[in-house]
């Protein structure tokens, strides 16, 4: 059997979950004996190839149309999809804008902030419209594994990957099941 192909993507996020993944430190050497990293936001390939990958990791929540499409793309090209981090699992901290109407959020951010002079809400063909509410990935595509944490600890990420490599669906409990920064 060849190496397991793993791809990842970050959506509405801070990239902290990818940093936490890198916190597996030297274990990455062991990991790469069994895993081939396909597309990630920090390598050259940005999207999984058409023939798909075995495991997809989505970090970040879904807050605009482009992120929705990215999530759907990952789902269609991954056999197993992991929602990693509180933002991917529940929308996380990005959901703070869900308590306000979207126009109010845009107005506050682009016009009303105290240091802004002559602001305007940008509209451009390259700018994707915001969704009404920020949500976790699971609201848009079916998710196989939820790994909460802000970020999930490197040990939790290592646990999930090694369980999968051993052919088991990881069951989170104890030290690897932590919400927020509780694991940190």
Partner 1 sequence: MSEVQITFNGKKVTAQSGQTILEAAQAAGVDIPVLCYHPDLSAWGACRMCLVEVKGMRGLQAACTCPIADGMEIETEAESAVEVRKFVLELLFSERNHYCMFCQMSGDCELQDAAYRYGLDHFTYPRPYEKLGVDATRKYFIMDHNRCILCTRCVRACSEIAANHTLNLRERGSESMIMADLNVPFGESTCVECGTCLQVCPTGALIDARSAYGGREKDVTHTQTTCMQCSVGCKLDVVTRYNRLLRVDGVFGSDPNGGLLCVDGRFSPLYDERKRVKQPLVRRDGKLMPAGWDEALKLVAGKLKQGGVEGFATGATTNEALQAFTALFEKMGGQAGMLEAEAPELGFGTEGKISDLADADFIVVAGADPLEYQRVIGYLIHRAADKGATVAVIAESENKLSDRADMTVSYADADKVAQAASEAGKVVLVYSLAIKGKVIAAFRPLAEKLSYIALSPARNAKGAELAGLKQMKSNGAATKFFLMGEQDADESLAEKLNGAFTVVQASYLSSLTDKADVVLPVPLWYERTGHITNLEGKVLPLNIVLPMPDGVRDDAEVLAHLAEML
Q: Which stretch binds partner 1 (CB under 8 A): 25-33, 68-76, 104-112, 138-146?
A: 138-146
Give the nearest distance from C-beta 153 to partner 1 in angstroms.
13
Cα–Cα distance for residue pair 183/179, rounded to 1 Å = 7
Q: Which window, 33-41, 45-53, 121-129, 130-138, contacts partner 1 (CB under 8 A)?
A: 130-138
Per CB under 8 A, contacts with partner 1 among 32-91 are 83, 86, 89-90
Q: What's the rounded Cα separation, in Å, for the pair 2 and 24?
A: 23
Of 60, 138, 140, 161, the one binding partner 1 (CB under 8 A) is: 138
Per CB under 8 A, the segment of 18-26, 27-35, 115-123, 133-141 that binds partner 1 is: 133-141
Binding of residue 146 to partner 1 (CB under 8 A): yes
Instruction: Determine the Cα–Cα distance for residues 26 and 165; give it in Å rounded to an integer.
Output: 18
Q: How far is Cα 30 from Cα 142, in angstroms, rounded to an integer?
A: 30
d(CA 113, CA 132) in angstroms, rounded, equals 21
Whole-number Cα distances in Å, 85 to 99, 154, 179? 21, 11, 9
Which residues in this chain contact partner 1 in the complex, by CB under 8 A? 83, 86, 89-90, 92-93, 95, 98-99, 133, 136, 138-139, 143, 146-148, 150, 171-173, 177-182
């Amino acid at each position: 059997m060849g190496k397991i192909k793993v791809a990842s993507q970050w959506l509405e996020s801070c990239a902290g979950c990818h940093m936490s993944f890198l916190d597996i430190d030297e274990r990455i050497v062991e990991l790469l004996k069994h895993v081939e990293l396909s597309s990630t936001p920090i390598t050259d390939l940005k999207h999984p190839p058409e023939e798909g990958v075995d495991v997809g990791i989505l970090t970040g929540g879904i807050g605009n149309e482009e992120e929705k499409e990215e999530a759907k793309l990952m789902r269609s090209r991954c056999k197993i999809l992991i929602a990693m981090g509180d933002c991917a699992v529940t929308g996380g901290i990005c959901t703070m804008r869900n308590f306000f109407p979207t126009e109010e959020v845009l107005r506050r951010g682009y016009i009303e902030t105290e240091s802004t002079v002559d602001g305007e809400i940008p509209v451009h063909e390259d700018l994707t419209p915001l969704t009404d509410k920020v949500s976790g990935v699971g609201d848009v595509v079916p998710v196989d594994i939820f790994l909460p944490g802000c970020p999930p600890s490197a040990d939790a990420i290592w646990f999930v990957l090694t369980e999968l490599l051993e052919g088991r669906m990881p069951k989170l409990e104890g030290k690897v099941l932590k919400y927020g920064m509780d694991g940190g």
